[in-house]
Structure 1
Amino acid sequence: MLDPQPPGQPDFDRVVFDRHELGVILSVYGRMVAAGEWRDYGMSFLRDVAIFSVFRRATEHPLYRIEKRPKLRAAQGLYAVIGMDGRILKRGHDLRATLRVLERKLIRSVE
């Protein structure tokens, strides 16, 4: 079976985080790692969603998932932060504003 996507060509069928979005996410991730809260991450790029998962340990379920869903852009917002239990903690159109829910948790853990 032939590969429908030639090597080296971008896959336009998957949702991905762009360089700016990854910079914002990794900035928060770095602060949480420095605080000792997070230790690992994983990324998944699917047809409908891009997911950045954060872990306390590599063998656990993700503590949080940061999702980008372009189909929700006009409705609830492109970005969502989802907790370990599947609850949506914050949804929004602006990634920085959406990630503030995680920064509040950092402030509480340092106090």
Structure 2
Amino acid sequence: MNMQSPPNVTDMPEQVAFDRHELGAILSLYGRMVAAGEWRDYGLSHLREAAIFSVFRRTAEHPLYRIEKRPKLRNRQGMYSVIGMDGQILKRGHDLRGVLRVLERKLIKAVE
């Protein structure tokens, strides 16, 4: 009989969080979108499996977008993703700034 010891509690993180550089990139985009009048509020969730930055147009509604970090997907599709209001994944990848570009397109407007 082969008995395996349970995983060490210190091996598993209590929760996933954005680091300072990731949060800086997200808040930079957030500030530009607030200045453009597109976004008004945000929420942060740090869970065991994911860190989620939710963006709202108004405070009391469903998020317009969710920016998620899921470290378990690091070796697959990439641990960063942008998810729309309907749950559709708009962009996924290994580079956070590259993933956020899908939201920056909203800042580009035609000048007459």
Stretches of structure 1 that go unaligned for 5 or more consecutive residues are: 1-10
Identity of aligned residues (%): 78
Q: Structure 1 residue 72 and structure 2 residue 91: aligned?
A: no
**Alpha-carbon shift at residue 13 of structure 1 (Å):** 1.3
Normalising by structure 2, we get a TM-score of 0.86
Alpha-carbon distance between aligned partners in 1 of 2:14 and 2:55, rounded to the nearest angstrom: 24
Task: Return the offset for 1:85.
Answer: 0.4
- Read off the aligned partner of 1:73 and give its amino acid letter: R
Name structure 2 gaps, 5 residues minimum.
Answer: 1-11
TM-score by length of 1: 0.86
Match in the other structure for 2:82: 81
Task: State the number of aligned residues.
Answer: 99
The residue type equivalent to 1:60 in the other structure is E
Max radius of gyration: which structure?
A: 2
* Cα distance between partner residues in 1 of 2:40 and 2:27: 12
Distance 2:104 2:21 in 1: 18
Query: RMSD value over aligned CA atoms?
Result: 1.2
